[in-house]
Structure 1
């Protein structure tokens, strides 16, 4: 294990000299700083709440100390401006990247862009505009978009056309700012319109914008279609962001059936330099589980 610099930690407030001359330490349970992970794994807030109980900045510092280089925060759009600024400032100090947050249109996801209704389109586009401002504030590049539920009373081709047209409008908002919405096929319920990688690939090709790409969530894709490496190979030129979770259980790698060593080897050999979001829970509760999670990622990180 290698420490990245005592002076750097002084600058971040990790270890300081008190008035009495004694050293004081951060709220989290300090471990020696680790080498950065070779793959850019991105935890989320709450994943290390027992090891770093001092709040958002404290948890970010703990993540950085363990070798993580990025963060993702699905709920960023709903955070206060003060919290957004705190996160951005701390991440800048720690030289961390911001991963996805969700373009959360509220009931838009249950009513859906598949319907073609103006009220849902307007809600989506207004949320895209708000997301641009938040992305600038927190230095984000990618935002998750989910088109919503099937509209059972409409032919699938009409629904697909409605989604494509809505996403073209969204891309017009994001593209001038160099931002990318990433479409995520999900497995949570069969009612969701977007469920497969090839379907998402076709929609991205139809939108035809660098602002509209695929978020390939390995957990969801294992549940919906499997054949992970071959599917990623077929859709690779539209994949901009990847998320992680083992199946069954949606916990860290090594807790389910997915051979993450092989999957990460494929991703690394493809030259992927993007973020891999850790969108899953901890298999073991408490501080013990948090340290076990870190060790699980050390085992599957590329060598």
Structure 2
């Protein structure tokens, strides 16, 4: 072999080795970082839900999943369907959360009328069902140690002026707040993006309603996924409505999966919330991009990455 070619080959081999070594060192550093944070509580209080870790926890038993969540560093859960669980199961979940020192996030005040014209109509039949469900929700909250309950006022009543609809919703929510206040339970109004028929669509509109209800038991659930779809401008809108926001939920867009799978800069948002002194729950109301245990492991890594803002 000619000396020049030998030197060229040797140089290329050396560069390749250095590159490979650099990649190996980077991978080792990443692995060490993952190992150092495994099981460590997150900087923010993220709350998984039932089914999110069913593969890793070894089955569908929610109690086993909660234990697994705790072992991974999560300190809260949420469960939209808690109201539909048996009182015995609600108590078991509450007891386990208390034992582990975990927080119960939101469950939904499901009247059966959330996805049709209801409170905006002003009809007494819808208000009566809402009040009855609020009373049931108080008992559920006691069993599972919940502090927040999601309220969806239903669809627009297109035959009525918007001002009349808004007054009807406010009237019903005041009645609900009277039930929740003595128990320290907060109904959090959730503006949604699922379809254009929903009465509550933006945080600003929800802010107006909460100011009119004038109750510590009527606040806003700021779901970042829905607000990105409906309005964007996430941080400024959040700041405008801040004194009425009591709960936050997560989901990237598009796709409604974990942080890092879409367009939202969650690391920046979590840093902003941390700097504002937010100590509340951030509900993980989204799906998982991957499949099986590998998908669940990737989900945890995505949260570790987004949570590394300090």
Aligned to 2:100, which of 94, 104, 107? 94
Deviation at 1:110, TM superposition (A): 1.2
Q: Write the distance in 1 (CA, Å) between the matches of 2:212 and 2:58.
A: 46
Whether the 8 Å contact between 1:113 and 1:163 is mirrored in structure 2 is yes
Aligned to 2:19: none
Whether the 8 Å contact between 2:114 and 2:155 is mirrored in structure 1 is no
Alignment pair present for 1:50 and 2:55 = yes
Aligned to 2:207: 201
Whether the 8 Å contact between 2:46 and 2:281 is mirrored in structure 1 is yes
Give the RMSD, CA atoms, in angstroms. 1.2
Deviation at 1:34, TM superposition (A): 1.2
The 5 Å alignment of 1:254-293 reads 254-293=260-299
Q: Write the distance in 1 (CA, Å) between the matches of 2:306 and 2:58.
A: 27
Q: Write the distance in 1 (CA, Å) between the matches of 2:58 and 2:170.
A: 43
Secondary structure at the counterpart of residue 110 of structure 1: coil
1:92-143 alpha-carbon deviations (Å, 9 max, x no partner): 1211100000000013541320000000000000000000000011000000
Whether the 8 Å contact between 1:108 and 1:120 is mirrored in structure 2 is no
**TM-score normalised by length of structure 2:** 0.86
Aligned to 1:21: none
**TM-score normalised by length of structure 1:** 0.88
Structure 2, unaligned runs of 5 or more: 1-36
1:252-278 alpha-carbon deviations (Å, 9 max, x no partner): 000000000111111111100100000
Whether the 8 Å contact between 1:108 and 1:124 is mirrored in structure 2 is no
Number of aligned positions between the proteins: 273
Alignment pair present for 1:106 and 2:112 = yes
Aligned to 1:228: 234
Whether the 8 Å contact between 1:114 and 1:162 is mirrored in structure 2 is yes
Flag the 1:109–1:172 CA change in 2: closer, same or farther, 3 A.
Answer: farther
Alignment pair present for 1:75 and 2:69 = no
The 5 Å alignment of 1:18-167 reads 34-54=39-59, 55-167=61-173
Secondary structure at the counterpart of residue 195 of structure 2: coil
Whether the 8 Å contact between 2:210 and 2:220 is mirrored in structure 1 is yes
Secondary structure at the counterpart of residue 247 of structure 2: strand
1:172-226 alpha-carbon deviations (Å, 9 max, x no partner): 0000111100000000000001001110000000000000000000000000000
Q: Write the distance in 1 (CA, Å) between the matches of 2:137 and 2:73.
A: 28
